[in-house]
Amino acid sequence: MIRKQAIVFGIVAWVVLTFLFMEDKSATDGFTILGFPWHFYSYTNGKLAYVNQSQLGFNLSNFILDLTALGGFIYLVNIFLERSLKKIKPDKPTYL
């Protein structure tokens, strides 16, 4: 069973990493790119020569890849928590 701590830690880590690796350069004729490890949203205020060839906006396939990676990370954190926080069975007293 997946622990609540693993889910919370995984989601918080994913959100923090997403904002740490975000590029916000749309104000200076650049791109705003959001997503970790795959970029699932991009935006620009600048002029583009080939608007039809640009991939702006929300990318659903990359978002699904991000959520799949998040699920895998949560699963790995859960395995780590199960192994490291395993309850140690107390030894039986010698007189029993």
Give 63-92 pLDDT, tens digit per residue: 999 999 999 999 998 888 888 777 655 666
What mean pLDDT is predicted for residues 28-34?
81
Return the closest-CA partner of residue 64 out of 26, 96, 38.
Answer: 38
Return the closest-CA partner of residue 24 out of 52, 45, 54.
Answer: 45
**Calpha distance 6→68 (Å, rounded):** 15
Per-chain mean pLDDT for the chain:
82
Residue with tokens 């880590």: 13
Whole-structure pTM value: 0.70
**Calpha distance 24→84 (Å, rounded):** 39
Give 50-67 pLDDT, tens digit per residue: 666 567 889 999 999 999
Of 5-14, 31-40, 54-63, 86-95, the poorest mean pLDDT is in 86-95
Give the model's pLDDT for residue 55. 73
